Amino acid sequence: MKRKAYIASAAHISAQKPFCGIEVFVPLAWEGALVPCQDPDFRPFIPPMAARRMSSILKRSIAVSKYALEKAGISCPEAIVGGTGLGCVTDTEAFLRKMLEDGEYMLNPSRFICSTPNTIGSQIAISLGCRGFNSTHVNDRFAFEGALMESLLLLGNGEAENVLLCAADQMPEVLHSLVDRQGLWKGRPASEAALSFVLSSARENAVCEVIDVVQTRSNPSQELSRLLSANSIDEIDICVTSDLPSGKTGNFSFIPQEKMTYKQYCGDFFTASAFGLFVCSELIRTGKAKKILLAEESRGTYSFTLIGGLCTN
């Protein structure tokens, strides 16, 4: 029998105050600009000498993971699964610049080694002393959804009792100029963030349940109907989407329920849907909803995630 998956804790480092709840979220005001991430004091999470050698994405990922694990009362997860759009872009940029400046001679390989996307999960594991399953999904559209689905499989098949699910992206100026030139996120500020969720097969002290998730490139309305029917859900309280703050529902017009957008709080980055899941967990934690649909669309690919409050089980 497939086991259920619960969110035991969730945490973020983003454009909002680090680790804060939805009660103090403030809409971002810099439309079309690059909004900086608000970093916490990393000293409680990472020794200063080690932090000096880490890029911002690594420091944020380790700090937010340790914070989420502490909230869940877990010292070391059984598995770590992460999602990232482009990985450690700052280290990649630094390595390439050095290659151009030095004509490919006398290159220090450290930047290249640290630029690989799975460096994030590896550094988290080293910091925690975790020797279990470790996987990284890299996709500029749905890396986090892939990581979430794999985490649900690990829990559902009994391969792990708890999973640390992570998402992280950084947005240096050079990358922001490229995505801005391509017009990927027009009308929204770009930003960066690191988020962590502790998923568990145990219901005790959990925040909410991740019921199911599906991705599709065609017939989103039909796939959504199948998803709701397969999980015996007749009605949802609210649909959380990544649409523009202006209230436009775009490709989600076939969903009749009340809608809420979240990117006005976090800006746009490749794994921003992780912030959407955080918002869903916060809506349930604060009693504002019991059944939520997280709906995402990016360049013709759709993702639907069902989240439920524990009182509805």
- The structural domains of the chain, with segments of one domain joined by +, span 5-200, 208-312
**Spatial CA neighbour of 25 closest among 289, 237, 286:** 286
Cα separations in angstroms, 242 against 185, 211, 264, 272: 11, 20, 9, 8
| CB-count exposure of residue 17 (10 Å: 0-12, 13-18, 19+) | middle
CATH homologous superfamily of 208-312: Thiolase/Chalcone synthase (3.40.47.10)
Q: Give the pLDDT confidence score for residue 245 in this predicted structure.
A: 41
> Is residue 35 within 8 Å of 15, Cβ to Cβ?
yes
> Is residue 155 within 8 Å of 5, Cβ to Cβ?
yes
Reduced to 3 states (helix: H, G, I; strand: E, B; else coil), residue 54 is coil
Q: Regarding beta strands 133-138 and 238-241, do their DSSP bridges make them parallel or antiparallel, or are they unpaired?
A: unpaired
Q: Output phi, psi for 136, to 5 deg.
A: -130, 130
Q: pTM of this prediction?
A: 0.93
Q: Give the pLDDT confidence score for residue 309 in this predicted structure.
A: 94
Q: Provide the 10 A C-beta neighbour count for residue 207.
A: 21
5-200 and 208-312 share one fold: yes
Cα separations in angstroms, 307 against 154, 229, 282, 298, 310: 18, 15, 11, 20, 10
> Is residue 34 within 8 Å of 191, Cβ to Cβ?
yes
Q: How far apart are CA 197 and CA 103, in angstroms?
A: 43
**Per-residue exposure over 217-234, b if at least 16 CB sit within 10 Å of its own CB, e if not:** eeebeebbeebbeeeebe
Handedness of CA 198, 201, 202, 208 (dihedral sign): positive
Q: How far apart are CA 43 and CA 215, in angstroms?
A: 39
pLDDT digits (tens, 9 = 90+) for 16-68: 999 999 999 999 987 768 898 999 999 999 999 999 989 999 999 999 999 99
Q: Give the pLDDT confidence score for residue 218 in this predicted structure.
A: 80
Q: Give the pLDDT confidence score for residue 249 in this predicted structure.
A: 44
Tens-of-pLDDT digits for all 313 residues of the chain?
468 999 999 999 999 999 999 999 999 987 768 898 999 999 999 999 999 989 999 999 999 999 999 999 999 999 999 999 999 988 888 888 888 888 777 777 887 888 889 999 999 999 999 999 999 999 877 899 999 999 999 999 999 999 999 999 999 888 888 887 877 777 778 899 999 999 999 999 999 999 999 988 888 888 899 999 999 988 899 999 986 444 444 566 667 668 899 999 999 999 999 999 999 999 999 999 999 999 998 878 899 999 999 864 4
Q: How far apart are CA 255 and CA 259, in angstroms?
A: 9
What 8-state DSSP symbol labels residue 132? Answer: S
- CATH code given to domain 5-200: 3.40.47.10
What 8-state DSSP symbol labels residue 100? Answer: H
